[in-house]
Each structure stands twice: as structure tokens, then as C-alpha cells.
Structure 1
Amino acid sequence: MDGIMDMKAHYKMSAEDNPVAILNTSEPFSMEEVKVCPTCRGSLRSISRYGRIVRRAMLDESTKKFVSWSQIEYSKLAELLLDVQGRISTAPPPPRVLQKDTRSNKKVFSAGRVKQIQLIRDWVGDNRYEEAFKLWQRINNFLGQVRREEQPFQRVNDFVLHATRQQKTQGVFAFDETRIQIKGHLQACTLSLKCDIIVVTDFMKQRDSLTESRGELNLDFSLQLDECESLAERAKATGYPRQETEAHVYFAQFCAFSRVLVSAEKAEDGSNTNAVKAEKFKEKAKEHLALARELVAKYNDQTKGMMAEIEATEKMVRDSVFYDTVSTDEMRAVYRAMASEFSGTGHWYKCANNHPFTVGECGMPMEQARCPECGAPVGGTNHTPVAGVQHANDIDNLARGLGGLGIN
């Protein structure tokens, strides 16, 4: 049985084949399954001798599934968003006179970005943005599912710390928070912001022709601007240039929207304060687009499809003309390529920036490549990973922490 469980890969064994010490050479992100009894195929979780190996394998598998699921779900939502964008952009203009609203009269008490989307939806009417609003809600549900508190890594860490406090166990439990995989959360944030942009872009197209019959609609995009800046900072800190680029581009687009709306407002005192505000929005947009261009030049492979959007956004900022800025076919190809990276089999590794990736075939690196997220060298030659590619020992440490609390 010990041979089946590969005990020697995890423990220093005595002459009598009993574990006497934990080795530091176990390889998380390389266990392919939770092993079972070779005779009855039953679980070995209740056997304390193998508890640590089983726990580590289960946490390993949960982390892989979380990363793969979040990437595939992101790709599905991204394609749905492109579908919605296409239908809105080709829909006929809404009627100048609103028909009677058949929706429920029940008030929805909400604040922030969701309230703005609701206001735009109701102002334009004709159910034009109903599909987009439902997808916006679905995207934000996904956003909650991929937050750090929901990750297997973080949940086990929280459980260990709670159990330690309850049992008043002595000693320090170390946990490196940089190992939390935040890519799914960054991607969900970009989708949520993009959904706002699709609705607002169409609203800006319809605005002039509908204002006379609907009246003015006051909007403030400061929340979106703050979120774009926060997203850019987090993506930069964790080495995700694509999401950092998207954040800068989206910031510029919200600046373009704000500039037009501010310019249309009349200052109560008759001053030119609104013109000054509009110019500030333009300058901020140009700053962020310059940063986006730098990222695309440096990380061309990781930011495919973004240059076209940068150039279109520059025209938007300069000319105040709003139109869809994405090449749908190109973006679909990008999203599908992202999903395919985690749909195969193979051993899991991390690049020097802690981005997970898989190696197919035998599971050992046989050729040089680049991390699909940040461009760092990955792969290797003759079954030897390049410098910086590593196994994630943090998962092993978490499993060890559970074992120290007597949890099998």
C-alpha cells in the first residue's frame, strides 16, 4: 500500500518503512488524482498514515478545478457579452415616445453601478437593454464566486486559522497571500465594466435624439473610474498585463463618456468650470491610453486584440463619436484560446510570477515557451523546467497545517 501511495515522495522513511519526517520535495500541482485502496477502491481519508497525502491531493485537485472552471466560465460569459453587444448595435433605434411600461412597479432599492444601468435601461425603454442587464447580473454573480474568500486555498487557510484559535494551538501558521490566484476575479471585473460600457456606448448614440422626449439623464461615472484604476493596480501587482491594459482602456472610455456629459451641462453661475472638467477628462484618458499602448508594445502576445480597441478609443476621446470598439471575431478567438489552455490534461506548474499553466503529454517540460499570462519563460528541456518555474509548495503547507490540527 505504501508503494501505491508513494510515501517516500512525501516522507523520510525509517528502516522499518515508517514515516519519521516530512520531506520538502513534494510537488503540488502534479498529483493527478486522490489515490484509493488498490483492492477495494475505497477512500483512504480515514487512515491517518496517509492522511497528509490525501489531504494535499484533494486541495491540489480543488485548486486545479477552481482555476479551470473560472477560466472556462469567464470565456462563456465573454462570448455571451459579445452576442449581446452585437444585438444591441444592430437593433433599430428605440421609439421617440415610450410605450406604457409593462414591468413591475415594485421599487428596486439599489445603489452604485447597478442603479445607473437601471436608470439607463428605463430612460431608453423598449426593453433595449433588458438582455444586457440580465447578463450584467450574471457576471456580477460570477464576480462573487471568484473572489478570494471563495478559493479553496483561502477557505482552507481560514479554516486552519479558525481551528487554531478554537483549540488554542501553539505555533505559527505561515500563509503566503501572494499565492492566491486572482486572475478569475480580475477577469470578472473586466467583464462587468465592459458590460457597462456596451450599454453606455449605445445610450450615448441614442441620447441626442431622445433627450427632447425623455428629458436629461444625469450620470456620474466616478465609481467606474475608481474601479478601473483599482483593477489596473491589482493587475500590475500580480503580473496580468492583459487585464491591466483593459483597465486603462476602459478608464479612457468612461472619461470620454464623462467629457461629453459634462460639456453638455450648463454651469449655474455661467462660468466655464464644465469646460475645464471636460478637458481634464480628456487629458486623463490620453494618459491611460498611453499606458495601454506601452503594455501592448511590451506584452504583444498577452494583449491580442487590444490595439484595435486602443485606437478606436483614441478616436472616441478626440472626436466624441461613440461606436463599438471591438473586433468580435478576433475577440472570440482570444476568449476560446484562453479557455483551451485549461481544458486539457497534464501536470500543473507555475511561472516565476505564480501564474498556473499545464504541460501536456508526459507532464514534464520538453520545449521552451512563454507563460500565456505574463510572457515569463516556462517549459524547459530534457524534463527540466527553466529557472523560475516552480511547484506550489503552499498547497503542501496548508495540508500539513490541517494535519497538525488532527484533521484527516
Structure 2
Amino acid sequence: MEADFAIRLAEKFETPFYAYDLGEVQKRTQELRAALPLGARLLHSFKANPLPAVAQQIRLGGASAEITSDGELEAARLAGHDLREALYGGPGKTNHEITSALAAGVRWFSCESWLDLQRLSGAAERAGVDVQILLRVNPAEAPQARLAMTGVESQFGFDESLLLTVDARARLNLPGIKIRGVHVYFGTQVASVEAIAQNTRRALETALRLETALGFVCSVVNAGGGFPWPYANHGPTLDFSGMQAALTAVWQESPLHETAELWFEAGRYLCASSGSLVSRVLDVKPSRTRTFVVLDTGIHHLGGMAGLGRIPRSAVTFQNLSPQGGAEITADIVGPLCTPLDSLARGVKMPSVAPGDLLAVPNVGAYGLTASLIGFLSHPAPIEIAYLHGEVVQVWRWRTGHQQLPQVPSSL
């Protein structure tokens, strides 16, 4: 983000804060839609960033909502989504969550197990509605992805072999359930157009096998996505040249092309580039042979979906928005938390910094705040600022802290 604009924001709002450029969200959404086959549907995975301002911009770009919780359901509603078009997934849906989703108008669900299917059927019967089901499948083959979610023992989806057994067709025949298609998510951060096309081909082949074995008309194939973007640094991005042609060729080769819709889902690609985390230097502390730069942010705000001890500390980029000049230093960048694990970077070379300087981390619009250890040490969550063309559009804060519930009756 522009240093002058970030400095003006820091004069008006306390640090640390996340700032999201809605123009970047708009650009990435348009890019990705243009790289998909004509007529393909794009879903926004709210787990990457559920902020309503960001989700609204993605919706305006033509994407539907892919959600997995009550909180994401509410965020999708606030972002203006027609929840009848949303897809609700996740391997551990509770009866409460399913009932809430149905009451809000959700009718499409990604189903991950036999028990999940039974819960969906029971809730549909009680609500007096039919639900449209995509069977999430874990095929045997592994994908080309940095984080594989198929081809391994997994909590996600049915192992394909379970759906090819002799009794599988009968087990799918439940009241309130309409089997409409297949959902395959091979993995995330897929590094090439060829790998994305190959994963899409495998998803279509899986759907065709199951349509034949289970005797239903497959009207939707959700081929997942895994479209990559660098995290917290200025790493290389994927060149989408030729992706539409490659995916269109794969799609047109499939016998399902004439009868089904092709869906893709994305989160990281749509919003990662929009986000910067702006923080202030609290202290610069020499300690024997090392220098520690202490910030007012840390792993409670930039957890990277990784939990304690797994932050990519060698790969985080810090932009000094208020440079001091002077010689380059080698420093460990740490946060204010009372644990040595609160480290964002180790041994990085950077321009000299001083207390009060503003630093910004780029490409954290996905898996930033809500993928972090927000509750640890009970610091307030940083505010989140959405801006467009240099003007602040919306300001939000994630709510944290304990709320006392009514006292449990003594009879219990």
C-alpha cells in the first residue's frame, strides 16, 4: 500500500490495523473469472477472509458464497448474498448449524460422511424442505498442491471407495435429500496452470465414475480451486495465461459437459493481495549478538493459519513506511506477547528502524486476522479498514472477550 496513505490512516486510527484495498479485490475477482471456462460458477471461500466489506466486493464481481459456520453465514448475509445460492460445507456440521442455515435460506450443502448425510436429511424433514447435496469425495490419487487434501487419509469427504460399494446407492436414498453432484477439493496453493487443469480433469473423472455407480444425474461438479497467491511477502504470482483455454479443453472433453455445471472455489486468490497489516515499532532491543524489533502486533494478529511455532518466519516482508535512513540491520521481528514463539521473522535484513516507525506486511488479505490466535493474552483485535480509490469505505473490529452466560440452575 502507499506509504502516505498508510501514515494518514495511522494518524486517524490506532495501530495495529489491517487495511484492505477493495480495488485489488475487484481486480483479482475479475482476473479469476476471466481465467475460468465460460459459464463456470465461482464461489468465494469465506474462510480466507469473512470481512463483509471484502465479501461484498467479491459478490459484486459475480461470486457466490461458500461458508462453513454460523459466523460465516452471518457475514455472507451482511455482504448481501442471496443465501439460496450459497454452498454450506465442512466436515463437522452440527444439527444447530444445519437448522440455522436452512432457516436462513441455504439449500445447497457439501456432504462429507454418512452421518453428515443423515443429519442433513433429518433437518430437511423437520424444516419441510429438500436440500441439494454435493457429495464431497476424497479420491485415491494425490494432487499437485502445496497442501494436499485428497489422496491421503483425511477428515474431508467420503473416501471414494465408500461410495463405490454395493450398498452405497441405497444409503443415499434418504428423505429430504437430492443428490445433485460431486465436490472435490484437491489442495491449496496449486503452483501451475497445468496442475490446476489436471486437478479439474481428475474431479470430472471422479464425478463421472460416481454418477455411473450411484445412478444419479450429476448436475454440478465443484472442482475446488487452490489458486495460489504469496503470503505476507512479495513472492511470485501465477501467470494465468492459457488457463481458460486449458480448463475449457478439459471441460469440453468430459461427457458431463452437456449436462452439468462446473464450479470453482477460491479465497486466497481473491483477497490476499488486498490486505496489509500496519503496525508500529515499540522498541529496538539489542541482546548479545542479536537485535530484536518489538512491534505492537504479533502471532495473535498474523497467525497464518498455522498455530504456534509454524509461522513462515524467513519469508515475511516488512515495508518501513517511515524510513529513518542509516545502515542496514539484521533483526528478529517480534510481537508484544509473553512467549518466545511470538516471532514474525528471524534474521531478516532491513533498513534501520526506530521506535514509532510504521511497518507494513503485504499480501495478508487472506488467512490474516481470523486465522490467528486472536484470543491469546486478551489483546483487543486490530481494526479492519476497507478502502477504495484512497477513501475509507468501512471500518470493522472483530469482537473478542468473555461474555458471562446466565447462571446454570442449581438443580443441575
Which TM-score bucket, shorter chain as reference?
under 0.3
Structure with the higher strand share, 1 or 2: 2
TM-score, length-scaled by structure 2? 0.22
Q: Mark the structure with the bigger radius of gyration.
A: 1
Structure with the higher helix share, 1 or 2: 1
